[in-house]
Amino acid sequence: MALRTRPRITITVDPDMLEEVDAYVQEHAGTDRSRVMAEALRCWYARVLHESLITQHSARKSTEELAERAAWKRIRAAQSLRAEHKYQRHGRSSL
């Protein structure tokens, strides 16, 4: 199986930020600048995905989406009634 190599890139950072990164690396054995930058990129990408989800879910719903949501609401309500009747038949109190 071939090893997957990570591409090498060059970045420009604020000198004060680099001092902070270097201080962190010095205090945490087993880490290096590359790991810190990789973690920073993972955090950035997680934020981008989160913002995309917020945008997607806050957008106006189409007529089809609203109809589907209403259908699922009816299904959940019907299932809830069936479960309630089941518990009542078996002499249990409702949830």
Domain extent at residue 92: 61-95
Mean pLDDT (whole number) for 24-37: 96
CA distances from residue 90 to 56, 75, 86, 93 in whole angstroms, order as listed: 44, 23, 6, 9
In a domain, 5, yes or no: no
Do residue 52 and residue 70 come from a single domain?
Answer: no
DSSP string, 9-24: ------HHHHHHHHHH
| Position with higher pLDDT, 92 vs 23 | 23
**Overall number of domains in the chain:** 2
Mean pLDDT (whole number) for 13-38: 96
Does 89 score more than 80 pLDDT? no
